Chain A
Amino acid sequence: MGDPKLQTSAPDDDIAKMTQCDAALTEHPAAHSSDVFRIDGLNVAYGNRPALRDVNLSVRCQRITAIVGPSGCGKSTFLCVLNRLTDLIPGCQVSGRVRLEGEDILSREYDVFVLRRRVGMVFQKPNPFALSIRRNLALPLKEHRVAANEIDGIIELSLRDVGLWDEVKDRLDQSALELSGGQQQRLCIARALALQPEVILFDEPCSALDPLAGSVVEDLIRELQERITVLIVTHNLAQARRIADDVAVFWHGDGTGTVIECGSAADVFESPTSEITAAYVAGARG
């Protein structure tokens, strides 16, 4: 218990290596024009309590970027900044720059309606609406003024994309709450896909599912990468190894989360530059 290696907060010198992350990014193929997101000096606080400090990161187009790190280091907060769900949290203050294909999404002028259509999100716990399977997809489409005669086609396409069409095509008007947990999560992914986003944020999408349903969702995420940029928060390092192209390691120092290392999955897992990352990926910390 007293082993200092098991401490969960990062020593200052490791936190200082955060700047190396930027350097690594500069050399990394991520730091070029194919970046979808470019995050500079991001700080987030809940009231007086800082949650994220000076986060710098780039997210490559049509790649899977895994966000890993111990609990409470701000991974989910970071994800919520990227589609400004943080706007809904009372007292949450966000500063710094988050650019989506060059546009600063944190600026007041940026239309959050457009942002959330471009950047979809799937949560840890499946959250289908208490509506029929069809209406779960139709409601957001109608909200985004998709023509009525296109809606059925998009619903079928989205459900096919997540491999759910054959399972539900005969009961589209039944309640979505009657589906199994794995099916509900795939429905939520289909609902996000129906809006044709450029990026999808996954916040531990498999952790509330049984292993079999989780592996189906994982395969699905891997397939999505061919056409969509994916950011996935996961506690499961094995999953990150299996599916991620790039990895960002979040850690907390003094109760505030930050990125201590990022780069290609191979680099982060095989030759990490930070001692904390090395211990974390080896399973000795976190």
Chain B
Amino acid sequence: MRSQPRSAAADALTRTAGWAAVFVVLAVSGWLVGSVLGHGLQEVSWSFLTSEPLDAGRNGGIGTVLVSTALVLSVCLGIAVPLGVGAAVWLSEFARPSSRPVALIRRSLDLLASVPSIVFGLFGMVVFCQELRLGFSIAAGGLTLACMILPLVVQTTFAGLRSVPDELRLGAAALAISRSTALRHLLLPAALHGVVVGVMLGLGRAAAETAALIFTSGYVTRMPESLLDSGRTVSVHIYDLAMNVPGGEARAYASAAVLLCLLLIVNVAAAVLADRWLRHQTARVS
């Protein structure tokens, strides 16, 4: 009987500690976002979003930088998402979970996910820029980022697929529904939220990357004419303005505010699209 007040006190302590942790996390995030938007949004205008950087970025805008960023991220996601989802599907649905190759691949992915981005940058420079002769280019930068986020996409998609109850697989198999049909109509839709989270995390990491891109896509600010042109992404632009350009802080904040808003918009759009697609899938008359 004496333990009851003690357990109530422990519960209260746990609850308070939990709330405190949530408060600290929210406060730090809010401070960070508020500071960036507060300092940066006043510089953001339509001409800032559409014009070319001038005077090493102190003047002008980030139009060409945004185009380069979009191209680098498109190459990155265009390679990483199909490869990552395909690998996760194989690992989850076709390979024997306890087999040695699967254990080896999963361990390699864990290892790759923890490799610092500068190492990927050096790898990208040697393999894509030099060996494959892509030079400092958007293609080389996108491919390097694809290698970097691939483990993340595989791991989150794999986790999403494994969280689908086995009853669904057995139910489909008992009706002689093929694995490919079950994957397309039942398993991948059920795992879609996991896939979207993985892709968004990967996108966030890729969009925030600087070290790997300085070595691979370069930092030229002019408008790229093809994927083989060099291009500067927003994160590289922010780094350059903050570190190398005296008087560039205001434009660095403005660029950071734009990057933050873009990531927020893409995240919300992906979640809304995934929900709509799922609703459509549920009700679609075959």
Q: Which residues of A contact B (CB under 8 A)?
A: 83, 85, 88, 90, 112-117, 120-121, 123, 125, 127, 129-132, 134-135, 138-140, 142-144, 151, 173-175, 188, 191-192, 195
Contacts and interface: CB of A to CB of B under 8 A. Distances in A.
A88 B169 contact: yes
B176 A144 contact: yes
B174 A83 contact: yes
B180 to A, nearest CB: 10
B104 interface: no
Contacts, number: 85
Interface string B184-205: 0110011000000000000000
A90 B175 contact: no
Given A127-B167, A139-B185, A132 B176 contact: no
Contacts of A115: 176
Given A90-B96, A90-B97, A140 B175 contact: yes
B278 to A, nearest CB: 8
B174 A112 contact: no
A123 B171 contact: yes
Contacts of A142: 286
B29 interface: no
Interface size class of B (residues with CB under 8 A): 20 to 34
Contacts of B168: 127, 129
24 contacts: A83-B174, A85-B170, A88-B169, A90-B97, A112-B176, A113-B176, A116-B173, A116-B175, A116-B176, A123-B171, A129-B171, A129-B172, A129-B185, A130-B186, A135-B282, A138-B285, A139-B177, A139-B286, A140-B175, A140-B176, A143-B177, A173-B283, A173-B285, A192-B174
Given A90-B98, A132-B283, A192 B175 contact: yes
A88 B174 CA distance: 10
Across the A-B interface, give the 8 residue pairs with the lowest CB-CB distance, nearest first.
Answer: A116-B176, A121-B174, A127-B171, A140-B175, A127-B167, A138-B286, A173-B283, A113-B176
Given A90-B97, A123-B167, A131-B282, 8 more contacts: A85-B170, A116-B175, A116-B176, A125-B167, A129-B168, A140-B177, A173-B283, A174-B283
Interface string B97-109: 1100000000000
Contacts of B97: 90
B281 A131 contact: yes
A91 to B, nearest CB: 8
Contacts of A134: 285-286
A135 B173 contact: no
B170 A88 contact: yes
Nearest to A129: B186
Interface of chain B: mostly helix, strand, loop or mixed: helix
B171 to A, nearest CB: 4
For B170, B176, B284, which residue has the most chain A Cβ atoms within 10 angstroms?
A: B176
B178 interface: yes
Nearest to A118: B176
A195 B286 CA distance: 17
A175 B279 CA distance: 9
A144 B167 CA distance: 21
Given A116-B175, A191-B175, A192-B175, A132 B170 contact: no
Nearest to B178: A143
B91 to A, nearest CB: 14
Contacts of A175: 282-283
B181 interface: yes
B256 to A, nearest CB: 40
B162 to A, nearest CB: 14
Contact of B282 (A85, A130, A140): A130
Nearest to B181: A143
A91 B175 CA distance: 22
B195 to A, nearest CB: 15
Given A88-B169, A139-B185, A120 B175 contact: yes
Contacts of A139: 177, 181, 185, 286
Contacts of B286: 134-135, 138-139, 142, 151
A83 B169 CA distance: 14
A132 B174 contact: no
Contacts of A127: 165, 167-168, 170-171
Nearest to B185: A139
Contacts of B98: 90
Contacts of B169: 88
B263 to A, nearest CB: 29
Contacts of A151: 286
A88 B93 CA distance: 11
Contacts of A120: 174-175
A174 B285 CA distance: 11
Nearest to B286: A138
